Amino acid sequence: MNLARSFLAASLVAAAGFSVLPVSSVQAADLGGNPVPGVCMLSREAVFAQSKVGQAASQRLGQLAEQARTQLENQRKPLDTDLKAFQQKAPSLSEADRKQQGEALQQRMQTFRGQAGELDQRIQLTRAKAMQRIGQEAEPIVASVYKSHKCGLLLDRDSVLGGNTTNDLTPGVVQGLDGKITTISFNLEPLPANAGK
């Protein structure tokens, strides 16, 4: 499996707010045991959360999301004002005027919702591309650390319920990534040309 795709998939799940819940109250450290030769673990989520480039990307995504939120709020304010004014004067309007103005406001609201949806899609697309780039940067580091630990199998550490974590590659990958790249720059991605079709 392509490691960049694996990193991307894991980051999207983490970004969506999903987390792994403990199955029982038994702590992983309590399970311990002997290290299993050739079996290694990696937490992709921890690599993104702990690496300098992952933190920089998260900060930049936060800035872009805040800018999008501000833009939407600025567009929403006049719409809310007009909606309140319409609600106040609606009883005094003729049926035809009430219908016409109500439909115009409904169209504006629909347009606003469409713009909000597009901005959300653009933020998600931007997040995916940033995480994909970090995954690509991390891929050779993962391969190198994997070989240096003489691994024969790599498991997602976040899916392991317990055991000996001696062969956790995460710290080595974070260190290698920090030595290679500390930040990336990006702006809000445009929607693909066929997104609305």
Burial of 28 (0-12, 13-18, 19+ CB in 10 A): middle
Please tell me the pTM assigned to this model. 0.72
Split at pLDDT 50, 70, 90, the class of 8 is very low
Count of domains forming the chain: 1
Cα separation of 58 and 64, whole Å? Answer: 10
- Report how far apart, in Å, the C-alpha atoms of 101 and of each of 87, 94, 98, 165 are: 10, 11, 5, 65
Residue 13: its pLDDT value, please? 42
Give tens-digit pLDDT for 10-31: 444 444 443 344 444 445 456 6
103 is a domain residue: yes
157 is a domain residue: yes
Residue 116: its pLDDT value, please? 93
Element (DSSP H or E) covering residue 40: strand 39-42
Average pLDDT over residues 32-60: 92
Residue 195: its pLDDT value, please? 59
- Residues with Cβ within 8 Å of residue 60, at least 6 apart in sequence: 130, 184, 185, 186
47 is a domain residue: yes
The amino acid occupying position 91 is P
Taking Cα atoms as reference points, which of 73, 67, 79 lies closest to residue 108? 79
132 vs 11: which has the higher pLDDT: 132
Residue 94 has pLDDT above 80, yes or no: yes
192 is a domain residue: no
105 is a domain residue: yes
Q: Which range of residues forms the domain containing residue 39?
A: 3-15+35-180
109 is a domain residue: yes
29 is a domain residue: no
Split at pLDDT 50, 70, 90, the class of 156 is very high
Residue 55 has pLDDT above 60, yes or no: yes
30 is a domain residue: no
